[in-house]
Amino acid sequence: MAPEKITVTITSSIGEDAPLTVSDAMSQILDFFELLSAAGGDQASLIDWQLVDVAMQSPLRATAEAIPKMPGVATEPIARREKVALESSFERMVVRGEVPEWMNDAARSRAKALFGRNMNGIGRMDIQFYEDAPLTRIDQRQARIAVEAIENVEKASTEADLSRVEMGSLEGDVLLTGPYRGQPAIQLRERLSGLDVWCVFAPELAKQVGPQHSWEETWRNRRVLITGRITYSRDGRIRLVYALGLKDLDPSPLEYRDIADPHFTGGLAASEYLESLWEEEEEDVG
């Protein structure tokens, strides 16, 4: 089986034939292969990457080959796992602005330095992860996306983590009714924050509320009080409620029989009663 190889080509920011500084070129190569090893996980310590070819003229090109650190270690599966992980991670970072979970503080620091050089001094980095496969190319624009993604993660890690789950209640107006991830639920606009929050019904509450097909006409646009387990996200916002209780806060519409007083006019017809009111009003005015 052919050994696993990888080639990195570094081009100056001022042109194909422009010189690179020793610091930029060597630091970029070192950070890249450190990240490659970090992407491999626990077994990365069993192999190493050995330089087998270096072209020092601009653009700089370095090819490395995976070798075992001790006899009997199968380098190919470990090296391929590292390459797959780093290739997909770079794609996520420079295209979607997502930092992979395997990157700890040290790995993010190296990645930020690597992409940072790609914005200042190094204009482009081409990576040949596999023979006869398309190059992974990182230019200045893509590097900027990756750096911003890393800085967002760094910022979030320094902020207070307000995520929690606690019992409580919230009040709001029902916007939607229906299933949420296959469970009966309503979505309401929470009164204090104005956030739209899904409230998933516990089985006992779903039975108490009644058939799901009647929820739309029963609960839509009504003000309710939900009691249950409230899940908060990292920034302290309500993310989801597991509802154990529901109370309708809208007053029931009054019916005629609730307010009618058959003795209100003292036995007079409505027209006679109104005439007497007008006469009393005229006497008061006179």
Q: What is the DSSP string of 30-63?
A: HHHHHHHHHHTGGGGGGEEEEEEEEE-SSSEEEE
Per-residue pLDDT of the chain (286 residues; tens, 9 = 90+): 688 999 999 999 887 778 888 889 899 999 999 999 999 888 888 999 999 999 887 789 999 999 999 998 999 999 999 999 999 999 999 999 999 989 999 999 999 999 999 998 898 999 999 988 899 999 999 999 999 999 999 887 777 788 899 999 999 999 988 888 888 899 999 998 888 999 999 999 988 887 766 676 677 888 999 999 999 988 888 999 999 999 988 865 544 454 455 665 666 666 665 566 556 555 554 5
Question: Smallest Cα–Cα separation from 49: which of 119, 129, 154?
Answer: 129
| Cβ within 8 Å of residue 241, ≥6 positions away | 170, 197, 198, 199, 200, 226, 228, 229, 230, 231
Output Rg (C-alpha) for the chain, integer angstroms. Answer: 35
The CATH architecture that domain 161-286 belongs to is Beta Barrel (2.40)
**CA separation (Å) from 212 to 182, 186, 189, 198?**
12, 10, 20, 16
- CATH 2.40.50.140 residue ranges of the chain are 161-286
Separation between Cα atoms, residue 137 and residue 129, nearest integer Å: 11
Tokens of 13: 């920011």
- CB atoms under 10 Å from CB of 282, counted, come to 9
- Burial of residue 254 (number of CB atoms within 10 Å: 0-12, 13-18, 19+): exposed
Characterize the bridge pairing of strands 47-55 and 60-68.
Answer: antiparallel
Give the span between the Cα atoms of 236 and 230, in whole angstroms.
Answer: 11
pLDDT the model gives residue 155:
86
Q: Which two structure tokens, joined as six digits, stand for 90?
A: 């770079």
Q: At 123, which amino acid appears?
A: G
User: Which of 75, 239, 76 lies closest to 162 in space, CA to CA?
Assistant: 239
Q: Please, are residues 31 and 141 in contact by the beta-carbon 8 Å criterion?
A: no
